[in-house]
Chains A and B, each alone.
Chain A
């Protein structure tokens, strides 16, 4: 899977929006962009995914650059419960490959201040 680059850490205040960036300059046309997060002492949980268009769900929004070389996870109003490590992951949708694997980097540690 193509590599992603994320800042090691970010800080936000409660009830403010948070924009978590991810660079993936070597993304291929069949790579989906996935975001997972890991709360303290828990397993990772799915947040959102997309291919080309921006996506919204109840947890977050995903903004994908037109050239797909970067994306941003947007938490519209951060809460203390959003403090976690956020992972940006690329996964190729082509069948026949190891497309089931999620390759996790070190992610971005988000701290939310009250």
Chain B
């Protein structure tokens, strides 16, 4: 079946511009996550959506970052007034959360490589 898809695969923008990154999770997955990976670094958690619950935004680095998830499916990560330090690969993942279980495999998309000039 189809995996997690992200678009665009690459985005080059100028400092100060806004960008929108899109994530299509696996159909039926109720949980959706955004991470970012700077060059040579591990993944950094950004935000988590689960069903209709309020999202966990604790990983967003500044108020320039926001995300929404419409209809419990597609998610958009928006970065306003981009800065050069925002350059990174932005990864989306989705998962099914079995009730009461700790096992929670996350399926990752290929990522969007953002370059801010």
Q: What distance in Å separates the Cβ of B58 from its nearest Cβ neighbour in chain A?
A: 8
* In the assembled complex, B106 has its CB within 8 A of some CB on chain A: yes
Stretch of A15-23, A73-81, A102-110 contacting B (4+ beta carbons < 8 Å): A102-110
Residue of B nearest to A102 (CB): B106
Instruction: Offer 12 A-B interface pairs, CB within 8 angstroms, sorted by A.
Output: A30-B102, A43-B93, A43-B109, A44-B91, A51-B102, A100-B31, A100-B95, A101-B33, A102-B43, A103-B45, A104-B44, A107-B42
B105 near A101: Cβ-Cβ < 8 Å: no
The yes or no answer to B52 lying at the interface (CB within 8 A) is no
- Please give me the 6 A-B residue pairs with the lowest Cβ-Cβ distance, nearest first: A93-B102, A43-B108, A104-B42, A104-B43, A46-B105, A106-B42
Interface residues of B in 95-110 (CB under 8 A from A): 95, 97, 100-110
Knowing A32-B103, A93-B102, the reply to whether A44 touches B43 (Cβ < 8 A) is yes
CB distance from B30 to the nearest CB of A (A): 11
| A95-B100 in contact (CB<8A) | yes
Interface core residue of A44, A46, A91, A104 (most chain B CB under 10 Å): A44
Known interface pairs A101-B45, A103-B45; A43-B102 also in contact (CB < 8 Å) = no
Contact A46 B106 (CB under 8 A): yes
**A contacts with B: majority SS:** loop
Q: How large is the interface on B (under 10, 10 to 19, 20 to 34, 35 or more residues)?
A: 20 to 34
Complex Cα distance A92/B4, Å? Answer: 25
Cβ contact within 8 Å between A32 and B45:
no
Contact with A along B4-19 (1 / 0, CB 8 A): 1000000000000000
Q: Is the CB of B104 within 8 A of A100?
A: yes
Interface residues of B in 35-73 (CB under 8 A from A): 35, 41-45, 48, 50, 56, 58-59
CB of A25 closer than 8 Å to a CB of B:
no
**A106 to B93 Cα, complex, angstroms:** 19
Distance in Å: Cβ of A82 to nearest Cβ of chain B: 18
Q: Do B42 and A105 touch across chains, with their CB atoms under 8 A apart? A: yes
B111 contacts chain A at the CB level, 8 A cutoff? yes
